[in-house]
Structure 1
Amino acid sequence: MARVRVLVTGMSGTGKSSVARELATRGHRTVDTDDDHWSHWVRHPDGERDWVWREDRMSELLDGHDGGALYVSGCKSNQGLFYPRFDHVVLLSAPAELMLARVVARADNPFGKRPEERAAILADLAAVEPLLRATSTLEIDTTAPLPEVVDRLEALSHA
């Protein structure tokens, strides 16, 4: 079976975790990088804190993937270092109102419950999403039903 590596990225509330769960139920290998195993906090010279990928672990993951499809989900400031190692970089997008409604309603992630976190999501939508859009190989609007979104991602493993 061919080896395919897909990065699924996007702002909070676009559906990355839901997509990863559905891909896993369909038998695909998925890695959600939004935990302490894959990511960690760093402090930049300007004093800003940033939640970034652990580059050694991401390298091991990508080097060790030798067959089938691997779907990696996350949105980190250092992910661009790894773009050449992915076959596809897929941006999930959704309208701001839907993203905010999703983060407020989700039970598996506390981020987005506080007003200042929702403001940060909107700021990232304005500043970060255009950068992701410019570097992605495909954009999927997640206002579509989850099975349709996952079908489109799954098709990349056969392309």
Structure 2
Amino acid sequence: MAHVLVTGMSGVGKSTALRGLGDRGVDVVETDDGDWCVLGQVPGAPRGTVDRVWREERMTALLDDRAGRPLVVAGTVPNLGRFLDRFDAVALLTAPLDVMLDRVARRTTNPFGKDEAERERIVADTRAVVPLLRAACTHEIDTSVTPPDDVVRRLEELALRR
């Protein structure tokens, strides 16, 4: 059984995939929800550069506790690189920028991406962050051409691998 990290920009379908995995009985953690993140120093950035980062002690405890049992964690935070070696697979969900922006404009489950500043951040982060995520991922799934049920199936297969 594996630990799988699902990452990608806003609007690629991470939350939709996690809901589908949860419906199939896979244990999932959406780090955008709850108390998984705190404002903290961005690793490798100039001192004083802060953003939402994982609570490292909490993420460590989660992954230690789940040893040997499948788990899918979703998140895209500046300090995820500190945990990459704890995941058996890193699945990068992608979609063209226009698709992502349309999705965040229409979604009702998350307010992020509704105002212009947030949409500009999605554009900037897509240009700057996606290449870094792509370099670290073991699997990439384009959610604009892969139906949601197939995305869920592929992620479930990763989580259930021995």
TM-score with structure 2 setting the length: 0.92
Separation in 1, partners of 2:48, 2:77: 17
Partner secondary structure for residue 17 of structure 2: helix
Tell me if 1:107 matches 2:108.
yes
Separation in 2, partners of 1:76, 1:153: 20
Note the alpha carbon deviations across 1:68-106, whole angstroms, 9 max, x for none. Answer: 310000000000100001000110000001100111111
Relative to structure 1, the CA distance from residue 150 to residue 51 in structure 2 (aligned partners, 3 Å threshold; closer, same or farther) is same
Separation in 1, partners of 2:40, 2:33: 14
Tell me if 1:15 matches 2:16.
no
1:1-159 map, 5 Å:
3-43=1-41, 46-143=47-144, 144-159=146-161
Q: What are the ranges of 5 or more consecutive residues in structure 2 without an aligned counterpart?
A: none
Q: What are the ranges of 5 or more consecutive residues in structure 1 without an aligned counterpart?
A: none
Per-residue deviation, 1:48: 3.0
Separation in 1, partners of 2:29, 2:59: 10
Instruction: Please tell me the residue identity of whatever aligns with 1:52.
Output: V
Instruction: Please tell me the residue identity of whatever aligns with 2:142.
Output: D
8 Å CA contact retained: 2:39, 2:51: yes
Per-residue deviation, 1:142: 0.5
Separation in 2, partners of 1:158, 1:100: 32
Separation in 1, partners of 2:148, 2:15: 11
